[in-house]
Chain A
């Protein structure tokens, strides 16, 4: 899975948890909270969906890594790679 694929995984999750948001122009380098109406419960939803759908765990100390699509991709890439190699 490429980093672009991972960004799409996160966007697909956001599409489910924030269905009123227009995700067509999300800037990958900008904090998600600065361009979308997302609150702390929504970020917990992202964490839960990564766990449920992809078996990826994000410890609480690392939640900050989910700030933007770019940071999500950087942080999650090795986790998806580790999953893929199993």
Chain B
């Protein structure tokens, strides 16, 4: 297979705190509707969080749900919905030629914390530790649950990439399709992180946990008074195919993967590095054969931390100079930070712009931080644009992992 082999998106399934399908999610993004709740976090009291309310029993038996994991249910829901959206005739698809590649920020914290709590009720006697622990916590769990539910016998694994994971899942799938390892890929990112107190406590003690008396305003990237991350759960899984295969079956082509880059800061475990971020974006553009001016939407990673937002803006200002047609937005302002799912969900929310001609805003900006001011930043209200043909999707994560994925409207040179 040539590395020039073109890869296209032919199906999308998702669950976000403000939508259980792409049309619902998109409608809420264009309408400026955030959905963040307050939940009880073990040992920590009430905190804002993005909670998904999809119906897990749509695609799983109750025993599967009981024995599996929350993120397994999220993954199965998204994969099944993506399959339906793709129009693939599942009966005739060769299941050994299907791969599942899911990005995760972390996995196993939820189940481990639950069991530690469980045995604490029994004097910490480990004979009360569940025998389901290992299948629930192995790192391939979410992807493996998808294969068992759908009868997929091709490769499956997760890609651990901190909060760059959603892009990383899609990139891995595109590469496997180009290599000819599989014919159909289910790929994206998933997260169940709201169910682990450790993530909340870690961010809180790092001074990076967002709060606001109105939970829907707690996640406010680029606002001067932003105070940290709102942790959310969610998932977005795409069906990817080689262009010629999609054309052969007459598939509806949603968009084409144009280019990507993953690189590393090699500087700090938590502080981002704008120089490496800019390099990452530039290399993705180069691989796509595009100029900054060719990007019409930049979907930012910004998580509403004091420094992180400024660092990303610094990187973007450096790359996107003199780009009057480039719009910049942020989806975390609506749904919080969906961790491993963030990049995949944020891309999905922007994809309908190719058809509807709108760019959703970043909301919750009461007072723009001057250090985050950028030309093209779409603030609080959606805008229409005459030409929307390419999206740059940024996702960055701890340990200095950066990812940039470029997706373009199908049929555009």
Contacts and interface: CB of A to CB of B under 8 A. Distances in A.
A20 B64 CA distance: 10
Given A41-B67, A41-B132, A52-B122, A19 B62 contact: yes
B248 interface: no
Interface in B59-102: 61-63, 66-67
B384 interface: no
Given A20-B61, A52-B122, A44 B66 contact: no
B249 interface: no
Contacts of B58: none
B406 to A, nearest CB: 44
Interface in A29-71: 41, 44-45, 48, 51-52
Contacts of A9: none
A61 B131 CA distance: 17
Interface string A3-20: 000000000000001111
A45 B130 CA distance: 8
Interface string B31-71: 00000000000000000000000000000011100110000
Interface size on B, as a range, is 10 to 19
A17 B63 contact: yes
A20 B122 contact: no
B127 interface: yes
A86 B184 CA distance: 62
Contact of A20 (B62, B127, B130, B132): B62
Main secondary structure, interface of B, reads helix
B62 A51 contact: no
A85 B61 CA distance: 41
Interface in B258-304: none
A18 B61 CA distance: 10
Interface string B128-142: 101110000000000
B119 to A, nearest CB: 10
Nearest to B127: A51
Contacts of A41: 67, 131-132
A18 B128 contact: no
Nearest to B130: A48
A44 B128 CA distance: 11
B131 A18 contact: no
A17 B132 contact: no
Contacts of A48: 128, 130-131
Given A41-B132, A52-B122, A17 B66 contact: yes
A52 B63 contact: no
A51 B130 CA distance: 12
B69 to A, nearest CB: 14
A52 B128 contact: yes
Contacts of B63: 17-20
Interface string B190-211: 0000000000000000000000
B66 A19 contact: yes
Given A19-B66, A52-B122, A44 B61 contact: no
Contacts of B132: 41
Contacts of A19: 62-63, 66
Contacts of B62: 19-20
Contacts of A44: 131
A41 B63 CA distance: 12
A20 B62 CA distance: 6
B243 to A, nearest CB: 41
Interface string B366-395: 000000000000000000000000000000
17 contacts: A17-B63, A17-B66, A19-B62, A19-B63, A19-B66, A20-B61, A20-B63, A41-B67, A41-B132, A44-B131, A48-B128, A48-B130, A48-B131, A51-B127, A51-B128, A52-B122, A52-B128
Interface of B: 61-63, 66-67, 122, 127-128, 130-132
Given A19-B62, A48-B130, 6 more contacts: A17-B63, A20-B61, A20-B63, A48-B128, A48-B131, A52-B128
6 tightest A-B CB contacts, nearest first: A19-B62, A20-B61, A44-B131, A20-B62, A20-B63, A18-B63
